[in-house]
Amino acid sequence: MTFREIRSILKKKTVGIAGAGGLGSNCAVALARVGIGKIIVCDFDVITKDNLNRQYYFHEQLGQKKVFALEENILFINPAVKVEPHVIKLNPESIRTIFKKCDVIVEAFDRADMKQMIIETVLGYFPNTPLVAGLGMAGWGDSNSIGMRKIDNLYICGDEKSEIAEQLPPLAPRVGIVAHMQANTVMEILLSN
Amino acid sequence: MKITLNNNPETVDAEHLTLQELIEYKNFTFRLLVTKVNGSLIKKEDRIITEVRDGDNVAVIHLISGG
């Protein structure tokens, strides 16, 4: 498939991204570069200095809401993408409303309890919508431990073992690998339909 | 019984177990898990009443912080 053909398919697609941190911001930018039609992104947080070791933001954006800064950065790269930002802390009810029309949903939260919440919500209410989750990416090195496995309509990207800790922070290289693996999985799903 | 656990064949030394017993048998000690049996989501509170039998397909996903 040529890039022109790829773009003509992807521009008709909508991807929902839950979280605009390390996974969400990098995944969204990759999807914007390949020409996804619409990105719906949800996050309640603002950008802090600690985020810049892995998240797709710039120093001058410190203090801004992540979803608005991400919209701005995406439009710098590809103004054809429609971005729908939501400043919200997602819960089962809002996930059902906001992501109702998405072709694929990306789980890009940082906290394990939020990951569990969205996986159970999407599997329960949208069993036919593919969900691409990121699990296990803290630290550095050991690139080959990061993989993707599929359980029905749930796609898990990550090493499924490295939990963040004071001595094992999430950093750009491994978080970026998982975020791009998520974007790659989204492309694979959308181009195979 | 022989089951599929996380996409791999697994032989368990029992005729049947509840999903909660299987989790303990496998020493899955993570606080947060998502569990599925034969494609159906099984909520935490239902793991003690969900039987796992020969031939079942079980998925246990460990929820890990970071993103």
Nearest CA in chain A to B34: A116
Span A8-28, average pLDDT: 98
pLDDT of amino acid A85: 98
Return the bridge partners of B60, or none.
B35
| DSSP-H helix ranges across chain A | 3-10, 22-33, 66-77, 92-98, 112-125, 172-192
Distance, CA of A54 to CA of A74 (rounded, Å): 16
Burial code (b: 16+ CB inside 10 Å, e: under 16) for A85-100 equals bbeeebeeeebeebbe
Phi and psi at residue B11, to the nearest 5°: -105, 125
Nearest CA-CA distance, residue A51 and chain B, Å: 11
Percentage above 90 pLDDT, chain A: 99
Domain assignments of chain B as residue spans, ordered by start: 2-62
**Position A135 pLDDT exceeds 80:** yes
**Position A131 pLDDT exceeds 80:** yes
User: Which residue, among A113, A107, A118, A110, has the nearest Cα to A170 in the 3D structure?
Assistant: A110
Contact: B64, A135; criterion CB under 8 Å:
yes
Q: Are A130 and A155 in contact (CB under 8 A)?
A: yes
Work out the mean pLDDT of chain B and round it to a whole number. 94
Q: What is the pLDDT of residues A178-193, one digit of tens each?
A: 999 999 999 999 999 7
Domain span at residue A51 reads 3-192
A140-145 long-range contacts (CB < 8 A, ≥24 apart) are A140/A171, A140/A173, A140/A174, A143/A174, A143/A177
Burial of A157 (0-12, 13-18, 19+ CB in 10 A): buried
Which CATH code for domain B2-62? 3.10.20.30
Q: What is the pLDDT of residues A51-81, one digit of tens each?
A: 999 999 999 999 999 999 999 999 999 999 9
Q: What is the pLDDT of residues A26-45, one digit of tens each?
A: 999 999 999 999 999 999 99
CATH number for the domain that contains residue A85: 3.40.50.720
- How many structural domains comprise chain A? 1
pLDDT band at B29 (very low <50, low <70, confident <90, very high): confident
Phi and psi at residue A58, to the nearest 5°: -120, 155
B49 touches chain A (CB under 8 A): no
**Position B23 pLDDT exceeds 80:** yes
pLDDT of amino acid A142: 97
Nearest CA in chain A to B61: A160
pLDDT of amino acid B31: 84
Phi and psi at residue A33, to the nearest 5°: -65, -35
